[in-house]
């Protein structure tokens, strides 16, 4: 996929829908930003696409704060609006 994106002159990408286990692993290792490279490309960077993966769900407001309970408790969430 990164090869096709690079052929379309896309050099930066943000993605969200990835299996939760993959997101959890990348969040724990602090690798949510990476250079996506085709396996067959070897050390060549001609297929690299700089990729940022949004952490966790991101589909609703409470999940955009991530799994840290302390961060979530700083805000009050009501019907998808943040009330300060």
**pLDDT tens-digit series, residues 6-56:** 889 999 999 888 888 888 888 889 889 998 888 777 777 778 899 998 876
First to last CA, the chain: 42
Q: Which residues of 24-33 are buried (b: 16+ CB within 10 A; e: fewer)?
A: eebeeeeeee
Residue 6 to residue 79: CA distance in whole angstroms: 40
pLDDT value of residue 60: 58
Residue 55 to residue 51: CA distance in whole angstroms: 13
Residues of the domain holding 54: 2-83
Residues 56 and 65 sit within 8 Å (Cβ to Cβ): no
Residue 83 has pLDDT above 70, yes or no: no
Total number of domains constituting the chain: 1
pLDDT value of residue 18: 84
Structure tokens at 68: 């840290």
**pLDDT bracket for residue 67 (50, 70, 90):** low
């Amino acid at each position: 996929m990164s090869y096709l994106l690079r052929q379309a002159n896309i050099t930066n990408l943000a993605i969200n829908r990835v299996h939760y286990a993959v997101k959890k692993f990348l969040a724990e290792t602090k690798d949510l930003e990476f250079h996506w490279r085709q396996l067959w490309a070897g050390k060549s960077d001609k297929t690299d696409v700089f990729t940022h993966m949004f952490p966790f769900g991101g589909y609703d407001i409470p999940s955009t704060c991530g799994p840290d309970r302390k961060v979530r408790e700083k805000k009050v969430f009501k019907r998808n609006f943040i009330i300060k």
